[in-house]
Structure 1
């Protein structure tokens, strides 16, 4: 019997909680880590389950922080993406060039200009303001918040303006 990749993905999505319980019950020699569980849940769209596994981790990687922030920025609640970003900073995890576009997307959805400005300042501080993805996310955030002058300033500074037209 052959199954398609789509059928398998649907099966995983529908049974992710069962699979997690099964993995724990079996207590195989290589138990899945909360890191892997979070990634599995995120890929299945089970954001709250991913968050529970994420919160079990003592030191999540920047990759996993970004994955959780991205999951909230795309699926909501958008405020959770901003809260995770702030928590990341509070415990000393340095955001990277992927973190900023994700959290700025959440700010755009929330029209959270004050948060967006603080995030913009942080991107400047760490030298990522001119990264094409960061600057495009900044442009989008300022436009959605109705700050045309700030958006124009970001656009004028962008090294690659051709990719910004989607914003």
Structure 2
């Protein structure tokens, strides 16, 4: 059975979501000096170490030159580096540095603390449903990162 939700409710909810995400990103830029593109790229490198620029570009749905600029910026900040493949000298792989891992850890710690401090307003069932829903936003919004199979979701590259 298909549920019908009034369009204005969906529009209002999506605006609220957009506003929250926008303000959330602004806070992260102010506090940690990295934007969400960079945070996402670093998160990809944690999960898929040694990605090539073209692989990153496909995942992020941006042109290679945009990815290359981002990687260069992260390299200058000491958060990522490019390494020539040991098996094929023509291939350059991108890795997160220990400083990059520390930056992501500080962001995750801050966000966990922020979220945890607000959870007392919710029952355990509501918390479970909220976290489940957040984890399924890509499905709800009909989004799937390029190059990611449903089976790959949240797994690291071997």
TM value normalised by structure 2: 0.28
Which structure has more helix as a fraction of its residues?
A: 1
The higher-RCO structure (CA 8 Å, 6+ apart) is 2
Greater share of residues in strand: 2
